[in-house]
Amino acid sequence: MTKALLDWIQIIISLVLIVLILIQNTSGGLGHTFGNTLYHSRRGLEKLTFYLTIIFTILLITFSLVRLVI
């Protein structure tokens, strides 16, 4: 029962993580890679999305390791 529950939690976290990554703003593309850089600070919803992506990534890694041990 716990393995099935952990599987569903991983699926839900993965889907949320995919959505969070897709809604992030990619302003610049390869132009920023080759030296055309401007300082850009995250504000508001962009900052929240960034932090939520980090949190959900840590959660996914944690649940994956727990699932591996069980």
What are the pLDDT digits (tens) for 6-21?
999 999 999 999 999 9
Residue scoring higher pLDDT (42 or 29): 42
- Rounded to whole angstroms, the Cα distance separating 3 from 9 reads 10
The answer to whether residues 13 and 60 touch, using CB atoms and an 8 Å cutoff, is: yes
State the Cα–Cα distance between residues 25 and 12, nearest whole angstrom.
23
Predicted local confidence at residue 49, as pLDDT: 94
Output the CA–CA distances (angstroms, integers) from residue 58 to 5, 19, 35, 52, 66, in the order listed: 18, 16, 31, 10, 12
In this structure, which amino acid lies at residue 53? T
